[in-house]
Amino acid sequence: MSNGYHALVFGASGISGWEACRQLLTYPTASTFSQVTGLTNRPLTREAALLPLDPRLRLISGVDLQKSVEELITDLTQIPNIQTVTHVFYYAYKQVEDKVELNKVNTQMLETAITGLIKLNAPLKHVMLQTGGKAYGPEFYGQVPFPPIPLKESTPRLPEPYASRIFYYSLVDVLARLSQGTSWTFSEVRPDNIIGFAPNFNAMNEAQIFGVYLSLYRAVYGQGAEIPFPSTKAAYKIMTTESSTETLIRYQIHLALHPDKFANGEAFNEGDKAASFETKWPAMAAYFGLKGVPPKEDNPQDAMEKWVWKHKDVWDKLEKEYDLKPGAIEGTGWWFGNFVIWAFWDRPYDLSKMKAVGFEEEGDTVKGYYKSWDLYRKAKIIPDFPSDS
């Protein structure tokens, strides 16, 4: 029997928001949420998004959180049953190059979104805010001491002038202020790198980055070719805690439904078992019929990106041969890929708090890549090579 819960997903076209729209229909049961509404700024149909044709799911495009609160309320009131929203899952994000402006824009977007729902008298129970590993300061490695590992949620915030350039801190402060004295609570979930699928080209998406790179390598050198890890020998061995989206979103839903198990505003790390590319790379390459091997030499940080652009003519042929969605190379965040594969220090998470709130599932990063690439093939973003070629 349905609880009558209504989940509202901000940023439904992104890597986490897309998975949330799927998982909320089935987890923890198929009747937990009677309605799921996904909001996007860019136009996106449910069919193009490869989302289930479930009558409980509604996908609404054209919701711009950079509008004023009053303008947003006008837009929200056009959405059926918006005044029944009980749970918010917030993934909206606006990329801005300047760190101070990035903070300002994204903080205002969150405040506008939640203030609009408050003014509509939505019966909010919980707001789930996804932040990430930036809270621990990896962008400023070498400028400030990196926290002891494994990284723990109790790690203090970075000092100024760095703190004001980490917008996650400001997002948490907004929800702490807005939830004070109310009946709703919020949680902060911190994945590091996220492995999943997004229906549109998504810059900060390892599955898309490696999916395009490995597919192109297969096309250039053929099935069975050796593919060295395109970074350094040190980076090949560092330990990180990546998050496959299926487990990540289920954990977030679990927290949203059990706010009695933690304090308002509490932060939680989330991730699969810590691993290095030394263990992941051979399995990742195998999906594409390649043999993943260690780096033969220390590559410069942009080696993967330069190689891809050098062979763009081959990708253009793949687009035509496999009827792929055009623009994958241009729509891939190679700058993000450069950062991910070139990092040379360990940053595993302490995941003990995941178990402490009663969540028992464990994610598998390699399986997360495989599931994502299956979807990227279905969406015709990467080619589905014949298995016997």
Query: 86 and 141, same structural domain?
Result: yes
* Structure tokens given for 39: 């909001």
Question: How many alpha carbons lie under 13 Å from residue 37 in its C-beta half-sphere?
Answer: 19
Please give the mean pLDDT across all residues of the chain.
95
Query: 159 and 216, same structural domain?
Result: no
| Among the listed residues 209, 205, 186, the one whose alpha carbon sits nearest the alpha carbon of residue 194 | 205
| Among the listed residues 283, 354, 249, the one whose alpha carbon sits nearest the alpha carbon of residue 27 | 249
| Among the listed residues 127, 32, 116, the one whose alpha carbon sits nearest the alpha carbon of residue 73 | 116
* Structure tokens given for 201: 């080209």
3-state helix, strand, coil split of the chain in percent (to 5) is: 40, 15, 45
Contact 18/199 with Cβ under 8 angstroms? yes
**What are the pLDDT digits (tens) for 329-378?**
999 999 999 988 988 899 999 999 998 999 999 999 999 999 999 999 99
- The range of the structural domain enclosing residue 291 comes to 202-241+274-346+364-378
Contact 372/196 with Cβ under 8 angstroms? yes
In whole angstroms, what is the distance from residue 234 CA to residue 183 CA? 49
In whole angstroms, what is the distance from residue 312 CA to residue 79 CA? 43
How sure is the predictor about 191, in pLDDT bands with cuts at 50, 70 and 90?
very high
Query: 99 and 52, same structural domain?
Result: yes
Q: Is the peptide bond before 138 cis (omega within 30 degrees of 0)?
A: no
Beta bridge partners of 72: none
Query: 265 and 215, same structural domain?
Result: no
**What are the pLDDT digits (tens) for 38-74?**
999 988 888 888 999 999 999 999 999 999 999 999 9
Query: 131 and 80, same structural domain?
Result: yes
